Structure formats: structure tokens, C-alpha cells
Amino acid sequence: MKVIDLLKPNAIALNFNTDSKEALYDKLIDLQSKAGNISDKAQYKKDLFLRDEEGPTAIGDGVAIPHAKSAAVKNPGLAAVTVPKGIDLDAMDGGKSNLIFMIAAPKSGGDVHLEVLSRLTVMLMDEKFRQKLLSATSAKEFLKYIDEKEIEKYGNEQRKEKTQASSSTSKGIKIVAVTACPTGIAHTFMAAEALEQKAKEMGVEIKVETNGSGGTKNALTSRDIADADGVIIAADKNVEMARFDGKHIVQTTVSNGIHKPEALIEKIVNGTAGVYSHTGGAETTSEGGDGVGHSVYKHLMNGVSHMLPFVVGGGILIALAFLLDDYSIDPSNFGMNTPVAAFFKTVGGVAFNFMLPILAGFIAMSISDRPGLAVGFVGGALAVAGTTFASLMNPDVNVVSAGFLGALFAGFVGGYLTLGLEKLCSKLPESLEGIKPVLIYPLIGILVMGLIMFLFNPIIGGLNTLLNSGLKAMNGASKIVLGLVLGGMMSIDMGGPFNKAAYVFGTASIAEGNYDIMAAVMVGGMVPPLVIALCTTFFKNRFTPSERKSGAVNYIMGLCFISEGAIPYAAADPLRVIPSCIVGSAVSGALSMAFGCTLMAPHGGIFVFPVVGNVLGYIAALVIGSVVGALLLAFLKKPLGEKAGLVKKGDKVTVK
């Protein structure tokens, strides 16, 4: 299969000019549809923008490669557009993009096409080739240049697993590298090509393993790693690191692999790269690595993402138990009075009770890899139990669960405790290497974690009790203000740190039995897409045709609690869209609290409305907040004719 097998003449548009990213995407999506590659334009567009949230797909030098794996893709394919004036797509080098290829990749199925797509991204790194494409006067000529370049670079064979730089030009330095990006379609292979080309110029031998969507290619062997003088990890996702223990390593982002290959290679050649110790932490050299705040956020999100399935599944089953039970039989045993209700309550309760140990375990695992999982998990379970030294000596002592705060504490302490143990054990004889992860780390780690949790449980339990008492004591205006703040936070950055902070607070409240807080959080997150949908429906003259067409999709996204549906509109007009969404979400959050709505599930949107407490009030809160936000947005946004300096008279439009 060749590149031109995936790029058809009817999927190419030359000399298309626009300043709007959304208009550009709409054009490319139309081309994909004409080529028969996609079945659902709206779904594909949604998936494209979701992919864009992970990072820019404009890679610099005038090239952008927007892409997404989507269930809307019927056949893998390409669409191409040239934009002579260029368009700002947040390129890594700050420049405008004038050569855009959009990749449509199936959500599942064969990955043969990924190899071909990786070829194209590598070919686009050649400036002369890019200039040829931009000078093309027809789709036929455009395809001719691509075909010629592919034959020149790859011949008629598949890209082979190889080591760039021959021994005759090598300086005697050998490097191995790994490249990986979240989707593994474009950036992974471009970073590999950049490193290989630069190593060849520098006379350095290199072998690059690519972790793409089609699996691992050019995999590094134990011999490759043993013979290497250093390792370069250019990746935006987790890479198996244990195999590089004891090697000089430079860790960086995949974008630096594309744009700064020489600097990365120089660190290995000059011997300035740190040494990686998998059992004792890393002393690696980092290029553009995570800051402390981002690292904490990443570890927390790892725990939360693994915890959510237990909260969602368990919480909904418990809520169903209450729906199916008969309160009049025994009010004190509500939820377990009938066999059917008891079944749902029991199964849901078991799932729900795993929530906090899972949170703690996977926070610890994110910090210290697999050795930290058991230590964090046990710490989370001890936090839930609330056991203290005093309760061990006197069974009559009242035990208070450390709850969500205790699980957070246990997760971070467990992770860094395990890292400390690995560092301490790094000096032990090699003969003990095999028993460290199965005996030393879990035994000592769990023991020390037990001592720490028994010591801190009373303190954290007291703080947890104080917080919960304060929340439960809130009523009237104070509770409405809390709902207003949390609802508004869900719209500040729609999936960013503020949104996630409110969301984590909501899930923490579920663990403590404060279900009204989660209700306010979710309704606040449902509002932004609904604000956009309503405004594009009833105030059409404020939006372009493509914006109006995409606006209807936001009804679905809003009802499904996908706040990110409003991001394209917020990015295009932040000063009007974001305040309108914040106000609408804040109103909904406040009304949810005022109406006494509750929710035991942290996700699901309209699909979990059957288990919402006071569902009619909840629907009212959602509708009112969405309408308020839409009206405010309509007020702030002028009709397009006015913005362009036009006045409509009858059927004619004249310039003021």
C-alpha cells in the first residue's frame, strides 16, 4: 500500500483560504466524506477536537496533520488542503500552517495504513518536497509529487527495521531511542525520522523503536540496549523503562524529538546525560519535563481515572437498590428490604468500597511503578478503616475513617515511600535482585505504611470529620453559594485543572455521603455545550454556517456530560463564550443545591437521571442554567453582519 492509495483526487483542495480553524476542519471533513472515508461527520469532528486537546497537531515548518482514531471512520484515508496565506493552528514553532493533511484512522481493526501514514509524515520533513506540494496546480500534480517522493525515499518496499548511520561513518557512539505519542499516528514516526537523520549527519549510530498505534516497530533487543552508550526517550506517554536500568538517559517530549534531535544526541555524545536507576529512581536528564505541580496532577488523575469505574458502577447499582426497594417495610434497612434491592445494594456496595484503596494504589503506582501498587492500596484500605494505635490497645475507642483525604495521603506517601525503599535497596547484592519486588518492597513498604497510617489516621480523620461536618451543616444560602462556585468552576477551562478540581471534590463528596455536591458538579459540566447548542439554534445570525451546523452536536455532548464540546467555540471567542458558560453553569449548580438534588454517580449525564434525587428539580436547574447562558451569549455576541460592518435592508446587504 502506498500513500496515494489513501489520498484520492477528490480529497484534495488547493488554494483554500480561511482564518478559521473550524472552517478548515469542516472543509477537510467534507473531503473525507466525499472520498467515502467517514460515515458520521459530526462524530469525526468531535473526535478531532478531543484529540487536539492532547496537544497541537501543527508540527511546524508550515505543516499540520490533524488526526483522530474514530468510530466514524469507515476506511482509513487522507484529505489534503493547501492554504497559501497560512492559518494559525498553534504550531510548535509559532508559525502559520499552509500544508494540512487530515488523517482518518479507524477506531479498531487493521493497522496496515498506519505504516503508510507514518511515511507521509516523514516525507513532509523535506522542505523541497513541501514547496513542490504548495506549488501544485492540480490534484493530479499534487499526487504525482507525493508518489515520486515516496519511490525516491522508500522504493517499492515497506519501511524496514534498520539502524541509521553506517559503521564506516560512525564515531563509535551507539544510541538507542524510543518515540511515542498519545495516538501513535504522526508525531511518533516524525520524531524517529528526525533522530535518525540527525544521527546520520553527526556520524552516530542509532536505532529507534516506535510505539505507534500499530504496535511496537523496530523493537529494541537486550543486545541493542546493552551495546548502547545512551538512551533517548522522546515520548508523551508511558514507556517500559525497566530495561534501561543503569543506562545514560535523556527523557523529553516527542515534540523535542522532532525539533531538537541534535541537542538530545549531543547530551549522550558529551556524556552529560544522567544515569537511570529503575530500582532507585531516575537521575535522568530531562528536556522540558514535568514540573512539580503537573507531576502531582498527573499522579492524582491516574488514581482518579482508575477509581471512577468503581464509583460509577457501584454508585448506580446502590442508587437502583433504593429505587427498587420498599421504604415502608423497614425504614432503618432501606435498600435491603427486598431480595432484588438487596442484590443491587450488595454488589454495588462491594464495588463502591474498592474506590478509595484503588485511588491510593494507582496514585502510588503512578509515582513508583508496580512496586508501589500494593503499598498504596493497603494504605488506602487503612485510611478507610481509620484504625489507630489507640484503637488497637482499646477496642472501645471510637474509630473515624480518614476517608478521601486519607486515601490521597496514602497514595502519595506510598509512592514516594516505595521510591525511597528502591533507593535504599539499590546497594544490595545482585543475587537479591529477584526478591526485591516480590518480598522486600511489599513487606517493608506495607509495614511502614501501616505505621504511618496508624499514626496519621486520627489527624486526617479529624480533618475529614471537620470538613464533612462543615459541608453537612451548610444550608440555605451557604449551600447555594457552594453549588454556584462548583458549577462555575466546571466551565472555567472545560476539562482543565479548574474543571478537574471541582470534579475531584465532587467524587470525594460521594465517598463521604454528600451526594448533593456531585449533583451540582455534574449539572454545571453539562451546561457549556447546551449553551452553545441553544445559542446556535435560536440566534443563528451570531454564527457562521459551519458553526451552526456543528452546534446541534452539542445537544448530545451536553446531555452526555461532555463539557469539552464547547471548547472549539470558546477557543474562537473566549471573551464572550467562557463568561456566558460560567454564568450558566453557576446558575445550574446553585439551583441544584437549592432544589436539594442528589447524585451518587460521578458521570453519565442524562443516562443517570433515573437515580438522581429530585430529578424534576435537576432538569429544571439544567434547563434554566443553559437558557441563561445562551441568552447571555446571544447578548454579548453581535450578529455577524454588524461585526462585519454590514446592515441588512430587506433582502440586500449594504456596507455602512
DSSP secondary structure, 220-273, as one string: PPHHHHHH-SEEEEEESS----GGGTTSEEEEE-HHHHHH-HHHHHHHHHTT-S
Whether 597 is catalytic: no
- The SS3 of residue 69 is strand
Nearest to 185 by CA among 160, 214, 165: 214
pLDDT at 536: 93
Residue of 113, 181, 299, 603 with catalytic role: 181
Whether 67 is catalytic: yes
pLDDT at 497: 65
Residue of 67, 113, 187, 248 with catalytic role: 67
The CB-based long-range contact list for 130-138 (8 Å cut-off, 24+ gap) reads 130/61, 130/62, 130/63, 130/99, 133/82, 133/99, 134/62, 134/82, 134/84, 134/98, 134/99, 136/14, 136/82, 137/14, 138/14
The residue type of 36 is: G
Contacts of residue 404, Cβ cutoff 8 Å, sequence gap at least 6: 356, 359, 464, 507, 508, 511, 512
Local mean pLDDT, 10-residue blocks, the chain (656 residues): 82 90 91 89 88 77 85 87 89 83 76 62 83 91 89 59 41 84 66 87 90 74 88 80 85 82 89 73 47 70 79 80 82 85 91 90 88 94 91 85 88 93 83 80 94 93 79 76 92 74 82 85 94 93 82 85 78 86 95 92 81 92 96 89 44 37
- Alpha carbon dihedral 166, 169, 172, 175, in 10-degree steps, equals -50
Q: Is the pTM of this model over 0.85?
A: no
CA torsion through residues 346, 408, 405, 560, sign = negative
Strands (E), 24-173: 58-60, 63-64, 67-70, 77-87, 97-106
- The SS3 of residue 34 is helix
pLDDT at 533: 94
